[in-house]
């Protein structure tokens, strides 16, 4: 997720290339679109695309304009082709290899923005399951809104690629509880994810947060934004 326009100042943007979805996918014959999300399945639209957009497909890295090392990670076909993804075989897929690289000069994203172990396993599982261009209807539950179980994973997927580390974009840090709480002040976080006037729409590209996800943030804030 890139940076909010914070009313008193406009933060520096972590710009992502526009996302284009819907290309025909010769490997996806499951018809998952419209199905309730299966907890044992990794979905490209809900799990992989927002993660790669947040962490990799930004200006100077792997957006279409920069295409560092010829790799563009903005949509399904480009991820498969330029990431040299071999469906069913993560160990022979360049996209996965760079995530588990032990050389700090070669690992992607570079430290300190490297993906977490859980995120790396998510990419691995998606490739193992055929690297499909699949989607699902989230079983999102607005009665579930703990920080550890709901808000933090949401920020990890959509935001921390830009908003983490020692120099987070726009000085907005969303990889800690205190940082998310600070971003919620003056309606900044909600204004951004709701695409309200006066705020930069977040995420800037790819899939926006769902109404259910936004409601979860609102309910967590209304409960006092606990670190639970």
pLDDT digits (tens, 9 = 90+) for 102-151: 888 888 888 777 888 999 999 999 999 999 999 988 778 888 899 999 99
- What local confidence, expressed as pLDDT, does residue 89 receive? 98
The reported pLDDT for the residue numbered 131 is 98
Task: Identify the band that residue 205 occupies on the pLDDT scale cut at 50, 70 and 90.
Answer: low
Tokens of 40: 């044992």
Q: Residue 12 has what pLDDT?
A: 31
| Environment class of 40 (CB within 10 Å of its CB; exposed 0-12, middle 13-18, buried 19+) | exposed
Mean pLDDT computed over 64-76: 89
Q: Is 214 left (phi over 0), alpha (psi -120 to 50) or beta?
A: alpha
DSSP-derived 3-state class of residue 107: coil
Burial category of 198 from C-beta neighbours within 10 Å (exposed 0-12, middle 13-18, buried 19 and up): exposed
8 Å CB contact between 91 and 54? no
pLDDT tops 70 at residue 17? no
pLDDT for res 86: 98
pLDDT at 23 over 60: no
């Amino acid at each position: 997720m890139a940076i909010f326009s914070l009313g008193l100042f406009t933060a520096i943007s972590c710009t992502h290339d526009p996302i284009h979805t819907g290309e025909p996918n010769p490997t996806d014959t499951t018809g998952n679109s419209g199905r309730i999300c299966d907890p044992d399945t990794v979905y490209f639209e809900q799990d992989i695309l927002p993660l790669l957009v947040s962490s990799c497909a930004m200006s100077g890295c792997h957006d279409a304009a920069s295409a560092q090392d010829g790799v563009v990670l903005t949509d399904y076909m480009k991820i498969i082709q330029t990431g040299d993804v071999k469906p069913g075989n993560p160990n022979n897929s360049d996209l996965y290899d760079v995530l588990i690289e032990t050389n700090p000069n070669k690992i992607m994203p570079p430290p300190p923005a490297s993906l977490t172990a859980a995120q790396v396993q998510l990419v691995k599982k998606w490739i193992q399951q055929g690297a499909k261009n699949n989607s699902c209807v989230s079983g999102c539950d607005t009665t579930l809104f703990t920080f550890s179980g709901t808000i933090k994973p949401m920020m990890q997927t959509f935001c921390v690629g830009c908003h983490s580390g020692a120099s987070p974009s726009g000085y907005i840090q969303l990889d800690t509880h205190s940082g998310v709480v600070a971003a919620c002040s003056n309606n900044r976080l909600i204004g951004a994810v709701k695409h309200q006037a006066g705020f930069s729409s977040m995420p800037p590209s790819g899939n926006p947060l769902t109404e259910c996800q936004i409601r979860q943030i609102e309910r967590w804030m209304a409960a006092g934004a606990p670190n639970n």
